[in-house]
Amino acid sequence: MNKIAQIFDSLDYGPAPEAADQANAWLNSHDRVFGHFIDGAWTAPGKTFASTNPASSEKLAEVTDGTTEDVDTAVRAARAAFPGWSALSGYERGKFLYAIARMIQKHSRLLAVLETMDNGKPIRESRDADIPLVARHFYHHAGWATHLSSQFPGMVPYGVCGQIIPWNFPLLMLAWKIAPALAAGNTVVLKPAEFTSLTALLFAEICERVGLPKGVVNIVTGEGETGAAIVNHPDVDKIAFTGSTEVGKIIRAATAGSGKGLSLELGGKSPYIVFEDADLDSAVEGLVEAIWFNQGQVCCAGSRLLVQESIEERFIAKVKTRMAKLRVGDPLDKSVDIGALVAPVQVERIRDLMQRGIAEGAEVYEPDGQVPATGCFLKPALVTNVSPANTLVAEEIFGPVLVAMSFRTPEEAVALANNTRYGLAATVWSENINLALDIAPKLKAGVVWINGTNNFDAAVGFGGYKESGFGREGGREGMASYLKPSWEKDLQPAPVRPHGEPVEPRGRANPLDAGHLDQTAKMYIGGKQARPDSAYNRPVVSPDGTSVGEVGEGNRKDIRNAVEAARAASGWGTTAAHTRAQILYYLAENLDYRRTEFAARIKAQAGEDGDREVALSVERLFAFAGWADKYDGAVHNPPLRAVAAAMIEPLGVIGIVAPPSQPLLGSIALIAPALAMGNTVVVVPSDRSPLSMTDFYQVLETSDVPSGVVNIVTGDSVTLAKTLAEHDGVDGMWFVGPADASAMVEKASVGNLKQTWTSRGLDYDLADPRFGGDYFLGKATQVKNVWIPYGA
Ligand code: NAI
Ligand code: MG
């Protein structure tokens, strides 16, 4: 047989390697050793470590391990560049972003090859996915820069942003961080991951070539300690991190109380749900994309296959057939599907996890065939026979390992899908659009792909729910996370008021000497008046020391009951916005009806003008009734045959600790926006003047508020704030109080990475009309982007 006939016979691939000579030439032009890029110039290399090609184990270059001093120099350069950069017009900044996008496009092949060499990902992916998305991100944000002042009036940049990125999409993660930061007028210090620094250094050179002002972008290479030095630097105003949930939690704790902005894009264990009426062949192709794209080293990888029992056998057989056709090998080969994992340590990690899973009963299928003998290669793997508790089901593997389970009903699919501490992404396959659109809102994930997977676009936000982090990248919401209201920068310290201590009424030391018989206000939990678990009460006294009543001394148990009630009332979140509005209007009406009584109570507890505070509280309820059906989502039109519906969803349960002042408004101003957006709340009212809110439950009872939507626990603010912040059933936490207690709340929230807003001892005057606007609505909600393809 001649050669061509043989090829027709075997249909084998020949090698189709992409040339590496240009990337090597670029590395050589730097003598294969790099310092940092700080203040528009290259520093002399310091102590260095190797950046290697994981497919060949060949050393590509030496990069500098950034010290605390290096980080400090970079932060100072970024600080010095900030006034000039932020003062440029949006158009001027936009032109720089546009120039960067053009340069990336012009040098796309060089960037793609270098990325593949340093990371091990197939050239097909770096060439067709990573780098085009990088360029798209800079183009998109050139536009945001141009229109910033009209689109985000009153908003200003944070200042210096510290950005720390992982190794799985090195240049793409850099783009997701740097493009919006620069568009907003921030300057940045970015640290690439230690395994993959090279494209960030090539990017630095691009910044140089486009004439970006010195110090606007600083790249400091290094390992975890260098990252920690950025996180802990006192002159950094915002931290943006993508990486493991473990490090994300360290950063959350480290930044607590610092006032630094924070966005975290962390791990995932995303479900890939296939219903019996799905187009199975398409779903198989989607699955290949979901779990074997980038060797499965994808935060949003569809790593948990949930397949309907009726088609399980057929679908799994198709998956196995397809797996056998995946080609594992040299990432620079244009016809390779699965390249090298990033580093030997990751291969070991995956092998360890697999062994644990197998010991727990898992069965593993791997197709026949060989992978290259040297380099970080693994075969694609399919894991079956697992219970939800199996390590391979629960842990993020970050490798080419798919775990399969089955379900019978849509309800069961949703329950299994949500049975994870993560909430980054989810995929739904069904030809029944009604079913798919019914399931999407029920999935606790920041991105839902219907009949598709791993779609990304700069115009569509990306980010997680639950322990997958908070904040979004891309879209309007991503842009917003690099801006803050200008007035926040001018806040003064709140007048210091004693807090937490029950104030003893003058001249009374004996707790039995209650001023009022039968005037102990109850707590309000699950729609019922509740006595405190502790069976202790605390006195309420007027500023002149007169006893005006008693309230229960709430404890951990009361908080637990209240959180349970709030969780059980989650139906509030899917109640029609119109209905929520009607109920808030009704609350306003009923409070107004009793304004004289409420005003007198405020006057008695706080000595302040009660009439004004009641009027403001009524107005605030009215304002948020009006907001309920207006603060809503968007439909994006990404460059694919799909629309992405950006849906605004509530956080879930919000713990609210009200300020000591403004006994009524202090709570109402925070409850109203939370309720309007569909959250349920556990509120700890002012601990010195709690009676206005214990009176308020009578208003709740007469206003059709469903049981459990508002729960009121009285007691010491700081003690109860700690319990709420530590509770994993609470999704968000708002705290008004001193700086040290605010820091405590942020730190205690690390367990389930709840989103926090704290006043940090600053004078947030909740009577200010700005708090009737959308300030709290963004904090009460998270955006879920649902991708819906079209075309027959
Ligand atoms: P990692 O979270 O340690 O690394 C991400 C980045 O954080 C790197 O730039 C690293 O230098 C930096 N870093 C590490 N410790 C730090 C600290 N204390 N303070 C500040 N920055 C710090 O992830 P790693 O160790 O490379 O991978 C381990 C596992 O984490 C993976 O197997 C995977 O499961 C998960 N991971 C998830 C990612 C995602 O996008 N969801 C990305 C990378 C890793
Ligand atoms: Mg490398």
Instruction: For the chain, give the percent of residues with pLDDT over 70.
Output: 97
Ligand 2 centroid vs 371 CA: distance in angstroms? 20
Ligand 1 centroid vs 397 CA: distance in angstroms? 13
Could you read off the pLDDT of 527-572 as tens digits, one per residue?
A: 999 999 999 999 998 888 888 899 999 999 999 999 999 999 999 9
Amino acid at 153: P
C-alpha to C-alpha distance for 635 and 666, rounded to whole angstroms: 35
Beta bridge partners of 74: none
Ligand 1 centroid vs 247 CA: distance in angstroms? 6
Q: Which of 253-257, 314-318, 352-356, 520-524 has the lowest mean pLDDT?
A: 520-524
Catalytic option among 62, 125, 194, 265: 265
Contact 551, 694 (CB under 8 A): yes
Question: What pLDDT sits at residue 497?
Answer: 60
Query: Which protein residues are within 6 Å of ligand 1, measured from CB?
Result: 164-166, 168, 191, 193-194, 223-224, 227-228, 231, 242-244, 247, 250-251, 266-267, 299, 346, 349, 396, 398
Beta bridge partners of 272: 305, 427
Ligand 1 centroid vs 40 CA: distance in angstroms? 27
Buried b (16+ CB within 10 A) or exposed e, 597-608: ebbebbebbbeb
Question: What pLDDT sits at residue 12?
Answer: 77
Could you read off the pLDDT of 612-637 as tens digits, one per residue?
A: 999 999 999 999 999 999 999 999 99
Question: What pLDDT sits at residue 513?
Answer: 55
Could you read off the pLDDT of 132-143 as tens digits, one per residue?
A: 999 999 999 999
Name the residue at shortest CA distance from atom 32 of ligand 1: 398
Question: What pLDDT sits at residue 1?
Answer: 62
Q: Which of 455-464, 500-509, 682-691 has the lowest mean pLDDT?
A: 500-509
Amino acid at 119: N
Name the residue at shortest CA distance from atom 15 of ligand 1: 224
C-alpha to C-alpha distance for 187 and 77, rounded to whole angstroms: 9
Instruction: For the chain, give the percent of residues with pLDDT over 90.
Output: 92
Could you read off the pLDDT of 703-740 as tens digits, one per residue?
A: 999 999 999 999 999 999 999 999 999 999 999 999 99
Contact 138, 174 (CB under 8 A): no
The encoded tokens of residue 259 equal: 């006032």
Could you read off the pLDDT of 656-678 as tens digits, one per residue?
A: 999 999 999 999 999 999 999 99
Contact 426, 271 (CB under 8 A): yes
C-alpha to C-alpha distance for 386 and 403, rounded to whole angstroms: 8
Name the residue at shortest CA distance from atom 16 of ligand 1: 224
Beta bridge partners of 53: 58
The ligand whose atoms approach the alpha carbon of 254 most closely is: 1
Q: In whole numbers, what is the pLDDT of the chain averaged over residues?
A: 95
Confirm whether 58 is a catalytic residue: no
2: left (phi over 0), alpha (psi -120 to 50) or beta: beta
Question: What pLDDT sits at residue 4?
Answer: 79
173 Cα nearest atom in ligand 1: 40
Q: How far is CA 643 from CA 352, 448, 471, in A?
A: 40, 12, 21
Name the residue at shortest CA distance from atom 34 of ligand 1: 398
The ligand whose atoms approach the alpha carbon of 174 most closely is: 1
User: Does residue 501 register a pLDDT over 50?
Assistant: no
Pairing state of beta strands 37-38 and 41-42? antiparallel
C-alpha to C-alpha distance for 7 and 11, rounded to whole angstroms: 5
Query: What is 456-522 written as a DSSP string?
Result: --TTS-B--SGGGEE--BSHHHHHHTTEEEGGGGGPPBPPP---SSPPPPTT---TT--SSTT-EE-
C-alpha triplet 148, 154, 156: angle, nearest 5°: 65
The ligand whose atoms approach the alpha carbon of 424 most closely is: 1
Pocket test for ligand 1, best of 244, 294, 348 (most atoms within 8 A of CB): 244
In 3D space, the residue among 420, 453, 468 whose CA is nearest the CA of residue 274 turns out to be: 453
- Return the SS3 of 280: helix
